[in-house]
Structure 1
Amino acid sequence: MHQHPTRHPRIVGQAKNTSWKNTLVDGRAVSYAVAGSGAPVVFLHGFGLTPRAYDRALLRVAGQGVRVYAPALPGFGGTDELPASERTLSGYARWLGGFLDSIGVAGPVTLVGHSFGGGVAIQAAHDLGPRVARLVLVNSVGGAAWSPGGGSVRPIGERPLWDWGAAATGDALTIRPSVTGLLAVTVDAVGNMLRNPRAFWQLSHLARTADLRGELDELAERGLPVTLLWGGDDTFIPRASFESLRAALRDPTVVTVAGSHGWLIDDPRGFGTAMATVLGAEQAPAESDEPVAL
């Protein structure tokens, strides 16, 4: 298994702020955040949130000498939702290609996705081909596996809704963001649900049942560089699902951290350090057979 070194690369710094812009994709409004300068990194947020909840984390990434683009995905945070027929992972991937066209990013990007955004990122990396140079999955959906009580591995669709809800609640209670971060998470989740409850629950089902192992296998066959960033205390994305992601990718690079599903919101500095490891990987010789613990 390819591993990054246990020493941490130097953190360049932290960008001062994000700026918010608007564009159109297929005639529909899109709101997105931008920070930093340099090679393009596109960040896709988790289900029910917007990039505002990740503001401090995005600034840490931008401090690595890259330009971060973080769109609010369709149906969230001021971005118009997709037509009902397009509310699929393939539809979101097509939308992302249109977004890159609209902001004039033609060259290959590093694509980073958290949770549901990871599922979109997997599909986009698969469908957009050379437009994605590297993929980073942060506690991502798509592994489609669940192990009730640590027993035999079962399809993720068999996981009861009550178990999902309990895991989501328990995971959320472990996050200790700043008052500003907590407010952003709360406003995002409640606001997105109230705007269109039916679409919100449709997308919740899409995130909950996503099976992207076939797409991941193809990405491994192509040789696309993929890194899994994994908060080891996650109960929302089961460990079995993470292991399924890793198996489909044929044992990719893994960077492990202490934290739950939303660890990058809770610990933006740790996320910046993890991303510094990823972004510096091409120059860094491997020195360890164990995942990096930050």
Structure 2
Amino acid sequence: MSETSPYASVIARVPVREDEVALRGGRTRLWIYGADDAAHRIVFLHGLRGDHHGLEPIVAHLPDARVVVPDLPGFGQSPPLPDDPHDVGGYAAWARDLLAAVAPAGDAVLAGHSFGSIVATAALARSQPPASDETEPAPPVRGLVLVNPIAASALAGPRVVVTRLAVLYHHLAAALPEHVGTALLRHPVMTRVASVAMATTGDRDLRRWIHAEHDRYFSTFADRRTLLEAFHASVGHDVGEFAGAVTAPTLLVAAERDDIAPPAAQRALVGRFPEARLAMVPGTGHLAHYETPDAVAAAMSEFLTALPVT
């Protein structure tokens, strides 16, 4: 089985360094790609059960950008939030603090993939309350980019039956003793089923690599509680809840074959933002960051270039 990344050579050319920032009483591991004097700055949030590795193929196709990619708290190398829940409000508050720490000048674009699209949009919504009872203002940014955005709640979407089965699976994992439930959530068969369901490419080598990526990183969540909180947040919310309160220019990068966030829902979603445009990537699904990262990056680059200079 080939597990060699088809993007290894282009990723290897991108300078990268690791760092860590203290946020909301905890620590967040992050990776900074590209030159410090790059023309554009991006803070990019990954999706559920992922980590920074999943966004590297897109980042590698953005040579004119300095991209900060954190591991969301509770995933990858970032430990869970010590005091906040791992729901949309908790992650949105964390994302606002992240922007203040790594892009205090307000010159960055915030981006998110899949569940990260919900978090990113909630973080920039003017009236979205964080985990505390106080309302924090949306941080200044140049723009917002949403890749494979969750256009409608999965509990009401076209894959509602599959989603309800996934909810039942997670409820079972929650009801079992912790070590048994955690093992169930990390079971390789569950990982492979999810990977096969999401991959749309007909390229066998690319499919093998995608499955290998999920095998490596899909189960790097910190603990059962964190994953369950984040999972229920991901299926119970969508970008549309927060779209109307986002004032930043917004780009939606959707995928033609995405049955988690289908094109019709994306076309409806773009109209809910005060200022947004839609780019549709043909021939791919919800794993556009793996299958067509060059096309995603091209849409992002065009959007970045068109933004007013800060």
Give the TM-score taking structure 2 as reference length: 0.72
Corresponding residue for residue 134 of structure 2: none
1:235 corresponds to which of 240, 259, 273: 259
User: Identity across aligned pairs (percent)?
Assistant: 23
Contact 2:199 2:207 in 1 (8 A): no
* TM-aligned CA deviation for residue 123 of structure 1: 0.7
SS for the counterpart of 1:190 is coil
Corresponding residue for residue 109 of structure 1: 108
For structure 2, which runs of at least 5 residues remain unmatched after alignment? 1-9, 127-136, 170-189
Contact 2:32 2:69 in 1 (8 A): yes
* TM-aligned CA deviation for residue 142 of structure 1: 5.0
In the TM superposition, what are the counterparts of 1:211-222 in structure 2 within 5 Å? 211-219=238-246, 222=247
Corresponding residue for residue 245 of structure 1: 269
Corresponding residue for residue 184 of structure 1: 213
Supply the AA of the counterpart residue of 1:162. L
SS for the counterpart of 2:30 is strand
Supply the AA of the counterpart residue of 1:16. V
Q: 1:104 to 1:218 in 2, by over 3 A?
A: closer
Corresponding residue for residue 174 of structure 2: none
Distance in 1, matches of 2:42 and 2:275, equals: 24
Q: 1:83 to 1:244 in 2, by over 3 A?
A: farther
Distance in 2, matches of 1:92 and 1:124, equals: 8
Corresponding residue for residue 6 of structure 2: none
Corresponding residue for residue 208 of structure 1: 235
Q: 1:159 to 1:211 in 2, by over 3 A?
A: farther
Distance in 1, matches of 2:81 and 2:29, equals: 14
Q: 1:46 to 1:60 in 2, by over 3 A?
A: same
* TM-aligned CA deviation for residue 96 of structure 1: 1.6
* TM-aligned CA deviation for residue 269 of structure 1: 1.9
Corresponding residue for residue 126 of structure 1: 125
Corresponding residue for residue 29 of structure 2: 31
SS for the counterpart of 2:105 is coil
Distance in 2, matches of 1:206 and 1:84, equals: 17
* TM-aligned CA deviation for residue 28 of structure 1: 1.3
Does residue 265 of structure 2 align to residue 265 of structure 1? Answer: no
* TM-aligned CA deviation for residue 271 of structure 1: 2.2
* TM-aligned CA deviation for residue 218 of structure 1: 2.1
1:21 corresponds to which of 16, 19, 22: 19
Distance in 2, matches of 1:251 and 1:279, equals: 15
Corresponding residue for residue 7 of structure 1: none
Distance in 2, matches of 1:213 and 1:245, equals: 6
Contact 2:121 2:239 in 1 (8 A): yes
* TM-aligned CA deviation for residue 184 of structure 1: 3.5
RMSD of the TM alignment (CA)?
Answer: 3.1
* TM-aligned CA deviation for residue 16 of structure 1: 2.2
SS for the counterpart of 2:109 is strand
Corresponding residue for residue 78 of structure 2: 79
Distance in 1, matches of 2:158 and 2:291, equals: 27
SS for the counterpart of 2:199 is helix
Does residue 186 of structure 2 align to residue 161 of structure 1? Answer: no
Supply the AA of the counterpart residue of 2:43. V
The count of aligned residue pairs is: 257
* TM-aligned CA deviation for residue 242 of structure 1: 2.4
Contact 1:168 1:236 in 2 (8 A): no
Q: 1:178 to 1:171 in 2, by over 3 A?
A: closer
Contact 1:171 1:236 in 2 (8 A): no
Q: Could you list the per-position Cα deviations for residues 105-128 of structure 1 after superposition, in whole angstroms to 9, with x for gaps in the alignment? A: 332320111000000110111145
For structure 1, which runs of at least 5 residues remain unmatched after alignment? 1-12, 150-155, 284-294
User: For structure 1, which segment, 31-40 or 43-52, has the greater mean C-alpha deviation from structure 2 after superposition?
Assistant: 31-40
Which one scores higher on RCO, CA 8 angstroms, separation ≥ 6? 1
Distance in 1, matches of 2:94 and 2:158, equals: 35
Q: 1:171 to 1:28 in 2, by over 3 A?
A: same
Q: 1:148 to 1:139 in 2, by over 3 A?
A: closer
